[in-house]
Amino acid sequence: MAKNEPAQGAAICDRSGNPVADSCASQGRLLSLLYGTAPGRAALKVLTQPLVSKLAGAALEHPLSTVAIPPFVAKKHIRMEDYAETKFRSFNAFFTRPVKPECRPVDRDPAAFISPCDAKLTVVPVTENTHFTVKGADYSLGAFLGCRRLAAQYRGGLCLIFRLTPDDYHRYCYIDDCRPGTTRVIEGVLHTVNPVSAEYVKVYHQNTRTVTMLHTMHFGDILQIEVGAMMVGKIVNHPHGKWVARGIEKGYFEFGGSTVVLVLPKDAVQIDPQILANSENGAETVVRYGSRLN
């Protein structure tokens, strides 16, 4: 694929480098007030606590929450024809709805490195001192993973950051045939993963997250990390056997924006040059569950 320069100032681009409208742009002003003012930061001390997100999640399980579904579908332009169900017992049941398999085909080519989810993707290098930079914020991979020794194995590799917004499909899959290790939970708070927050806090050091080592057949040992976010009551990972096939659902997020991060060893895969160009220019790339990234 020819590499095109993303449009100047574009925050989100498609696979050809063309700008895409941000469905959550209207949140920016409110989040700037929360993160950029003293009263807002005081409110965040409460709003980012896991208990608040759990209470919000409980409210979204109530049958009365279904009244929020039609305006949400209309505002986010969600293609309900992609989903088998049309009636839901709660807003959370709607939010975690499974897609029709034919609407998210998984690339079965063993050489294809696929996206685990629908998302806005940023690719950043892991430096030799195991740090990575997102939106100008410097992160320690060791702090993110909760283990400096583990982080050292990924010097010179890549971090693929898949940011899900509320209009995305909120289930995620295994990216290759693999033997998954035990999933480890790192407790934390729940900041929004909207880029506005990155200007003020290191969300990937602070948010609750789950870490799983995937011993993949074609790409080496890859780390998959699910990161919770504000108003996400749960990260739900399914139990699986000793071996799983690519495309099998790994889990899902309940309501809210959230993030999946893949940490790749050095030289594990050559990512599509256009995705890299978008990332280098500060733009996220829209990707789909099961689609090829190399």
Question: Does the pLDDT value for residue 53 go beyond 90?
Answer: no
Dist CA 62 CA 75 (whole Å):
22
Are residues 125 and 247 both part of a single domain? yes
Are residues 83 and 198 both part of a single domain? no
Which whole-number Å values give the CA distances from 237 to 92, 103, 281, in the listed order? 16, 22, 33
Are residues 144 and 268 both part of a single domain? yes
Mean pLDDT within 102-128: 96
Quote the DSSP letter at residue 274: H
Whether residue 6 lies inside any domain: the answer is no
Whether residue 179 lies inside any domain: the answer is yes
Catalytic residues: 118, 258
Residue 203 contacts by C-beta under 8 Å, 6 or more apart in sequence?
Answer: 191, 192, 193, 197, 227, 229
Are residues 116 and 88 both part of a single domain? no
Whether residue 197 lies inside any domain: the answer is yes
Q: Which helix (H) or strand (E) holds 261?
A: strand 258-264
Are residues 109 and 240 both part of a single domain? yes
Mean pLDDT within 159-165: 93
Which whole-number Å values give the CA distances from 2 to 6, 12, 24, 107, 283, in the listed order? 12, 18, 29, 21, 17
Are residues 208 and 120 both part of a single domain? yes
Residue 269's pLDDT band (boundaries 50, 70, 90)? Answer: very high
Residue 31's pLDDT band (boundaries 50, 70, 90)? Answer: very low
Whether residue 294 lies inside any domain: the answer is no
Whether residue 16 lies inside any domain: the answer is no
Whether residue 234 lies inside any domain: the answer is yes
User: How many separate domains does the chain show?
Assistant: 2
Are residues 198 and 64 both part of a single domain? no
Are residues 90 and 174 both part of a single domain? no
Range of the domain at 247: 104-287
Are residues 125 and 235 both part of a single domain? yes
The answer to whether the beta carbons of residues 261 and 161 sit under 8 Å apart is yes
Residue 92 contacts by C-beta under 8 Å, 6 or more apart in sequence?
Answer: 57, 60, 61, 65, 254, 255
Q: Please give the residue that has the higher pLDDT: either 86 or 116.
A: 116
Q: What is the pLDDT of residues 168-221, one digit of tens each?
A: 899 999 999 999 999 999 886 554 555 544 554 556 667 788 999 999 999 999
Boundary residue ending a domain (61, 95, 129): 95
SS3 95: helix
Whether residue 211 lies inside any domain: the answer is yes
Boundary residue ending a domain (95, 114, 138): 95
What's this model's pTM, rounded to 2 decimal places?
0.85
Are residues 188 and 56 both part of a single domain? no
Boundary residue ending a domain (52, 78, 95): 95
Are residues 256 and 137 both part of a single domain? yes
Question: Does the pLDDT value for residue 109 go beyond 50?
Answer: yes
* Residue 137 burial (10 A CB sphere; 0-12, 13-18, 19+): middle
Are residues 90 and 125 both part of a single domain? no
